[in-house]
Amino acid sequence: MSITYKDSGVDIDAADAAVKMIRKYVQSTYTKGVLGDIGSFGGFFQIDNSHKNPVLVAGTDGVGTKLKIAFMMDKHDTVGIDCVAMCVNDVLVHGAVPLFFLDYIAVGKLIPEKVAQIVKGICDGCIQARCALIGGETAQMPDMYKEDEYDLAGFAVGIVEKERLLDGSKVKEGDVVIGLASSGLHSNGFSLVRKLLLKDMKLNTYIDDLKKTLGEELLIPTKIYVKPILEILDENVHAMAHITGGGIVENLPRVIPEGLEARLDKKSWEVPVIFHLIQSMGKMEEKEMFRTFNMGIGFILVVEKDSADTIIKKLQIQGQNAWIIGQIFKGERGVMV
């Protein structure tokens, strides 16, 4: 009796079925620069002639161990938003408008319906980010992953005029630091979160202070900041930072020049309940919390002092909560909270 590829755990027919299921989701993200359709060896995107001196900015990331929560809840339609967010927010930091996104999904066993849900989330994220999903890869890797598990990563490419590229070099003493509210944990610190919270709680535990179950809170997608940020880029923004792994104290210094430091007032913004819960159950020091989690601030702007109030008003019009959380002073490069 001859053996087939399917006998080894790789189902080509299932892959074909998944492609048919996701096509409508993918096509819903297409912008005017997209050429062709899914199924080619590469994705095609035509840059228009509106840019005089364009710079392409690329970013790549994954969802990390937040996926473990999706596995446990058997809910797969939001982690794709996380994947897009982690990439496009990084690109956005440099003032670049996201153009397109590509994904990579590695599965232990390809279940078309599950892949379709993952890709639907990716497409939802792309629509929020105003970029197109122009390609991807779904790899069947039996023995590398358990049958009901997968990994998810991707990358985004954005574009910005060279003279508008933000790299932190414009930051100066007296600039104001604005913090934009996160939607919760985003996609960082989940190895610690699972160790602390799931030791004594279940994902279906309803938490009154959260007004939802623990699992629902943990799977809230990472916020995509593209729409509100594009509205304020002309308002004397000197630098931006995406607050991911390492929290504020590790990420904000990446866009602060030598000889300057950011001094932040931790009482100037609302810290979501989930962070208080984690700190309480883990008996964690506040310093460690700020080195691990975003603490309610998912994105930071460093701006001209005279523009701060205007920027906050414009962000609020877009439905984005934001606060003045600090200022730039002379000092040793870093962040004081």
List the chain pLDDT tens, one digit each, 337 residues.
678 778 778 888 998 899 899 999 999 999 999 998 888 899 999 999 889 999 999 999 999 999 999 999 999 999 999 999 999 999 999 999 999 999 999 999 999 999 999 999 999 999 999 999 999 999 999 999 999 999 999 999 999 999 999 999 999 999 999 999 999 999 999 999 999 999 889 999 999 999 999 999 999 999 999 999 999 999 999 999 999 999 999 999 999 999 999 999 999 999 999 999 999 999 999 999 999 999 999 999 999 999 999 999 999 999 999 999 999 999 999 899 8
Please state the separation of Cα 62 from the chain's center in Å.
Answer: 9
Which residue(s) pair with 62 in the sheet? Answer: 153
Instruction: Round to whole Å and give the CA distance between 310 and 51.
Output: 27
Instruction: Round to whole Å and give the CA distance between 295 and 129.
Output: 23
Please give the single-letter amino acid code of residue 267. Answer: K
Contact in structure between 38 and 135 (CB atoms under 8 Å): yes
* pTM exceeds 0.85: yes
Angle in degrees, CA 38, 39, 44, rounded to 5: 55
Domains belonging to the chain, first-starting first, are 6-164 (3.30.1330.10), 176-336 (3.90.650.10)
Please state the separation of Cα 110 from the chain's center in Å.
Answer: 25
Region at 64 (left for phi over 0; alpha for psi -120 to 50; beta for the rest):
left
Check residue 5 and give its pLDDT: 78
Check residue 6 and give its pLDDT: 80
Check residue 71 and give its pLDDT: 97
3-state class (DSSP) for residue 159: strand
- Tokens coding 120: 């639907």
Instruction: Round to whole Å and give the CA distance between 11 and 109.
Output: 8
Report DSSP letters for 51-71, one per residue: -SSEEEEEEEEE-TTHHHHHH
Angle in degrees, CA 185, 241, 163, rounded to 5: 150
Region at 189 (left for phi over 0; alpha for psi -120 to 50; beta for the rest):
left
Instruction: Round to whole Å and give the CA distance between 12 and 153.
Output: 22
Q: What is the pLDDT of residues 166-175, one digit of tens each?
A: 999 999 999 9
